[in-house]
Amino acid sequence: MLHTLIDTLAADQATDVDAHCDVPCAIYDPAHLLIASLTVVRMIDIMEELEGHKPDNPLVYHNTMARAVAMKEKHAEIVKHEVRIIWGDYLKAPQFEAYPNAHELVHNIMLTGSKAKQGVSRDDAVALHELCNEFAEMFWATKGVETKRAAAPYKPGLETVYPAL
Amino acid sequence: MFKLFRVRGRSMLPTLGDGDFVIGRRIGPHAVRRLDTRAIVCAQHPHFGPIIKRIAGVDGDSVRLDSDGVTGSESSSLGDVPIDCITHRARLVIRARGGLRRV
């Protein structure tokens, strides 16, 4: 009622102030980081498979192993990068108030992501993926989007969070 | 001393919505330096013109502004603005969907 009164009697006295929405895209999606965390696990699986079935040609072995290590390194860094973007650019005070463990979750992803980069523990890589799942669930919850967990339709086939659209 | 503003846009949701009226109190640089870093202010942005944002930090003669909403400009996009660009501090919101709120 008061708003209507002001709108009727004093709107011409009001100065318009913009609450800008000029971010070029505002497209945020945890899909990238989940694919990357799955890739980290997959690269460790490939390394273990390769070690268990060494090819006759040592060059093939070293080449494949080097590529798997490089991809593991790269995708663990993609996880950290993507999480940092959503945490730093997308999440704001209202979301942090609604999800007070967000900072701790992000920090855990950073630590576990580094572990996955440094080592070859599949458990660490799986733990990283699960943290990413939790992050994805939190992200979609801030948008009011329901999620579901399903096995990824490719190796390593781990349970992964998807928006239930 | 007091001035009436009308909000355009949704970047300050959930605090401020499109069409809300805001009553702001005139403030100068000294008062800005003493403000809580979460205060909502009206500013004359060098590039964006008159805007309403939340203070994210004050560093000497520059003020970093930020949005509340998830679709708003992040502070890196808005950049730091000179402290004398801050003209008013929001004190009261008359919401378009009804109700009053102090900020």
Q: Best residue in B10, B21, B66 to probe A by mutation, most A CBs within 10 Å? A: B21
Instruction: Give the integer Cα–Cα distance in Å for B56 and B64.
Output: 5
With beta carbons less than 8 A apart as the criterion, state whether A96 and A149 touch: no
Share of chain A above pLDDT 70, in %: 96
Minimal Cβ distance to B96: which of A3, A20, A90:
A3
Between these two residues, A27 and A54, which has the higher pLDDT value?
A: A54
Nearest to B9 among A6, A11, A18 (CB): A18
What is the model's pLDDT at position B72? 58
CA distance B3 to B25: 6
**H or E element: which one contains A32?**
helix A31-52
Most A-contacting residue of B7, B11, B18 (CB-CB within 10 A), to test interface: B11
Which one has a higher pLDDT value, B85 or A6? B85
Which chain A residues are Cβ-neighbours of B74 within 8 angstroms?
A: 23, 88-89
Mean of the pLDDT values across residues A128-154? 96
* Banded pLDDT at B98 (limits 50, 70, 90): confident
pLDDT tens figures, A3-28: 888 888 877 888 888 786 544 456 78
Would the pLDDT of A123 be above 50? Answer: yes
Which chain B positions have a beta carbon within 8 Å of A92's beta carbon? Answer: 66-70, 72
Positive or negative CA dihedral for B29, B33, B34, B36? positive
Whether chain A has a CB inside 8 Å of the CB on B26: the answer is no
Mean pLDDT across B86-97: 94
Could you give the CA distance from residue A90 to residue B66 in angstroms, rounded to a whole number?
Answer: 12
Indicate the residue of B8, B14, B76 with minimum beta-carbon distance to A16. B8
Place of tokens 């003209």: B87
Range A28-36 average pLDDT: 94
Q: What is the pTM of this model?
A: 0.57
Mutate to test the interface with A, among B73, B91, B103 (most CBs of A within 10 A): B73
Q: Is the pLDDT of residue B70 over 90?
A: no
B70 versus A120: the higher-pLDDT residue is: A120
